[in-house]
Structure 1
Amino acid sequence: MLEGLGFKVFKPESLEQGETQLSTISANKTKCVTLCRWVVEVVNGRLKRDFKLLRQEYFNLAATHLMDDVRICAAIINAFHPVIENRPDANAILTRAIQIMNMPNRLAELITANRINRYRAQFTRTMVNFQN
């Protein structure tokens, strides 16, 4: 629906069946989504922190006026809370994230090639006596 309205939609990547870890490119894309999503989570946190009404589950009866409630709460936050601003180094962070998006993960390649992730640690039981 959002793409039909002309929006570009980005979401965190998911593991495919049988995968135990995201690929490097998938992990990097997820990091970029998380960078952009942070402000959404801050606003949601403010709404839930300041308005008990928005912390609870809504039932069908209350859901008819849910968006009106959210609009009123958001207007109050906009009027009385400080504006969320970008960090001074936000552009540098985003530029760096885009630069390294397609960079290979050499450490992951080394670990996989040498099967280091398959090693089992050998633990030995030790007894510690705390009595004096």
Structure 2
Amino acid sequence: MPSFLGRGEKQHSVEESNTTRLVTKLRWIVESINGRIKFFRYLDKVLPTNQVPHIRDYVQIACSLINRYFKPMNIGDPEADELLGAKMLFLSKQINELKNKIENDGLDKQSYKWSKIDSTDFDIEFPRLNEEELRNLTLGTYQLKMAKSYTEEHFDSEGKYEVLVSTEDQFLLSAKIQSRHISSKCYQLWISFNECVVLGWYCK
């Protein structure tokens, strides 16, 4: 089960967040299969009680058609999947060093110095990642498939995306991100990096 916020809490701990991400990684394939079943309109709504004795047969027929004519959900090999699972478990137990740096150095305080950057004034050496590197970073394609629509939600009326860079650390970016679920809520995101790779991230 994913973690739930307790009374008065505003954010999960690192451990709770990692556990919730693991659950999400496991659940998305289940939800994807459910979505395929709901492709059949009859199964895309609440069924009357007099249909309960027949639901099993309907679902079996739908799944048989899906297995025969739909593209497989997973075309990878079991060994690679097992390695990915082991990597996810390992990373879920790691300490978020960037979070500690932000809290200890006061990077989340308004007094910390940030400056806006845009495409015409972008002189930092942020790494360019190809699709495979992004998949390794996100441990799969779930976030990548949502990235385009999610990014579009954060453009302002002029099609701009505000990003801030630290004036004291050239290898640290910050951005304000609107919540996917609550339109009135924004999060502050930090990303640490070097010339080659993204080193860490933290959202508050």
Q: Which range, TM-score by smaller chain?
A: 0.5 to 0.7
Report the equivalent of 2:12. Answer: 22
**Match among 83, 86, 90 for residue 81 of structure 2:** 90
Alpha-carbon separation, structure 2, partners of 1:54 and 1:30: 29
TM-score, length basis structure 2 = 0.45
Report the equivalent of 2:63. Answer: 74
Does 1:109 find its partner at 2:100?
A: yes
Range 20-29 or range 87-96, more displaced = 87-96
Alpha-carbon separation, structure 2, partners of 1:32 and 1:15: 17
**Match among 63, 75, 90 for residue 99 of structure 1:** 90
Alpha-carbon separation, structure 2, partners of 1:58 and 1:20: 38
The higher-RCO structure (CA 8 Å, 6+ apart) is 1
- Residues 24-55 of structure 1 deviation map (CA, whole Å, 9 limit, x = unaligned): 11111122222222221221111112x01111
**Alignment root-mean-square deviation, CA:** 2.6
Alpha-carbon separation, structure 1, partners of 2:52 and 2:37: 17
Report the equivalent of 2:24. Answer: 34
More strand by share: 2
Identical residues among aligned pairs (%): 27
Go from structure 1 to structure 2 and tell me whether the alpha carbon gap of 1:118 and 1:69 turns closer, same or farther (over 3 Å shift): farther
Alpha-carbon separation, structure 1, partners of 2:89 and 2:26: 12
Alpha-carbon separation, structure 1, partners of 2:89 and 2:2: 16
Alpha-carbon separation, structure 2, partners of 1:20 and 1:101: 21
Does 1:57 find its partner at 2:46?
A: yes
Deviation at 1:86, TM superposition (A): 4.7
Opposite residue 20 of structure 2, the aligned amino acid is T
Go from structure 1 to structure 2 and tell me whether the alpha carbon gap of 1:119 and 1:67 turns closer, same or farther (over 3 Å shift): farther
Does 1:13 find its partner at 2:3?
A: yes
Alpha-carbon separation, structure 1, partners of 2:110 and 2:56: 53
TM-score, length basis structure 1 = 0.66
Alpha-carbon separation, structure 1, partners of 2:16 and 2:34: 26
Report SS of the residue matched to 1:35: helix
More helix by share: 1
Go from structure 1 to structure 2 and tell me whether the alpha carbon gap of 1:73 and 1:86 turns closer, same or farther (over 3 Å shift): same
- Residues 69-101 of structure 1 deviation map (CA, whole Å, 9 limit, x = unaligned): 212211221222233325455344322211112
Deviation at 1:116, TM superposition (A): 4.7
The number of residues matched between the two structures is 110
Opposite residue 28 of structure 2, the aligned amino acid is W
